[in-house]
Amino acid sequence: MQASSFTESLPRRVVVREMGLRDGLQSVATVVPTAAKLEWIRAAYEAGQREIEVGSFVPPRLLPQLADTGEVLAFAQTLPGLRATVLVPNMKGAERAMDAHAEMMLLPLSASHAHSLANLRKAPDEVVAEIGRIRAERDARGVRTAIEVGISTAFGCTIQGRVEPEEVVRLVQAVLDAGVDAVSLADTVGYADPAMVSRLFERVLRVAGDRLVCGHFHDTRGLGLANVFAAMQLGIARFDACIAGIGGCPHAPGASGNVSTEDLTYMLHSMGVETGLEFDRLLALRARVVQWLQGEPTHGTIWKAGLPKTMKEALHA
């Protein structure tokens, strides 16, 4: 094959979807005050972020850090052009999201049976059935809240170990049949490598086509950005990330750190891919978030190394 094929299908523009306020904060003990979250969202918006997951409609006793999700969502909805999303684990959460006129709700569906039981106390097929009921409820209400299903532990699971690609494909087909608007693939525990990403995204694209809208990678073992690159080669143009590389999964022992927003943005800008993001503002926001987290572990590389001399001017243009 022609070698240029390896870059010719890279998207020209990529959306970096911020997960810090949900995937990030759900796995730290520190409760960030609501006022700080609103400042965070405004700063992210001013840095150019237009898709932000602002929280999760779960019972406050489970995740007190996210108990203010309703208030945070309401603020985010005042910012023009911002697509604020919320995670919902079940019908109750979905009802709250629809009550709040959320533009999009993200429903997690574990491809690992063991992880699904640990995380949602339901087997994957029970979750699929619940997703079908949520879709029906949305139709009954006639609201526009979009439904994206995130297939978690799609590349393996710390509890169960191996997750079969066939099971991922089967679940994607099942939720598409249930009428969801979009699906994404998540490496919840940092088990993916770029060859696995190429192969699994390729298989799921055959089933989902352009309804496969996003890749969600954790950088637990240093392969997060390599995995993003592999998915980009297949045309994927939206990636989840957390500022300062925070995040993880409380039910996946050993997992740590989403791909960092600022490192991902650096890679994309270096490759000439548009993001709409202002790098300096992201770094300033990172510093604020590190303060709010009061010593919780943070990650990332570019804030230490600094931009290459070759990029400093280009990025400010």
Q: Answer yes or no whether residue 266 interacts with a second copy by CB under 8 A.
A: yes
In Å, how far are 81, 217, 226, 258 from 199, measured between CA atoms?
34, 15, 14, 21
Give the strand pairing for 212-217 and 238-241.
parallel
Nearest alpha carbon to residue 229 among 239, 242, 221, 244: 239
CA pair distance 302, 237, nearest whole angstrom: 22
Q: Which is nearer to a second copy, 74 or 226 (CB)?
A: 226
Q: Angle at which helices 224-232 and 261-270 pack, to 10 degrees?
A: 50
Query: Of 27-35, 76-84, 134-142, 217-225, which part binds a second copy (CB under 8 A)?
Result: 217-225
Q: Report the SS3 class of residue 167.
A: helix
> Other C-beta atoms within 10 Å of 139: how many?
10
Q: Which residues contact 241 (CB under 8 A, 6 or more apart)?
A: 16, 17, 18, 19, 258, 259, 260, 261, 264
Q: Which is nearer to a second copy, 28 or 97 (CB)?
A: 28
Q: Answer yes or no whether residue 223 interacts with a second copy by CB under 8 A.
A: yes
**Residue of 29, 62, 91, 271 that binds a second copy (CB under 8 A):** 271
Beta carbon of residue 165, minimum distance to a second copy (angstroms, whole number)? 13
Identify whether 249 is a catalytic site residue.
yes
**Residue of 42, 270, 281, 290 that binds a second copy (CB under 8 A):** 270
In the window 277-306, what residues touch a second copy (CB under 8 A)?
300-302, 305-306
Backbone angles phi, psi at 37, to 5 degrees: -60, -40
Q: Which is nearer to a second copy, 53 or 219 (CB)?
A: 219
Q: Are 182 and 146 in contact (CB under 8 A)?
A: yes
CA pair distance 23, 184, nearest whole angstrom: 15
Q: Answer yes or no whether residue 162 interacts with a second copy by CB under 8 A.
A: yes
Q: Answer yes or no whether residue 274 interacts with a second copy by CB under 8 A.
A: no
Q: Answer yes or no whether residue 244 interacts with a second copy by CB under 8 A.
A: no
Q: Answer yes or no whether residue 193 interacts with a second copy by CB under 8 A.
A: yes
**Residue of 267, 283, 285, 289 that binds a second copy (CB under 8 A):** 267
In the window 224-243, what residues touch a second copy (CB under 8 A)?
225-226, 228-230, 233-234
Q: Which residue has the tokens 């919320």?
A: 86
CA pair distance 242, 119, nearest whole angstrom: 21
Q: Answer yes or no whether residue 190 interacts with a second copy by CB under 8 A.
A: yes
Q: Answer yes or no whether residue 205 interacts with a second copy by CB under 8 A.
A: yes
Q: Are 183 and 149 in contact (CB under 8 A)?
A: yes
Beta carbon of residue 204, minimum distance to a second copy (angstroms, whole number)? 11
Residues of this chain that interact with a second copy (CB under 8 A) are 1, 3-10, 156-158, 161-162, 189-191, 193-196, 198-199, 201-202, 205, 219-223, 225-226, 228-230, 233-234, 254, 256, 263, 266-267, 270-272, 300-302, 305-306, 308-310
Residues marked active site are found at 249
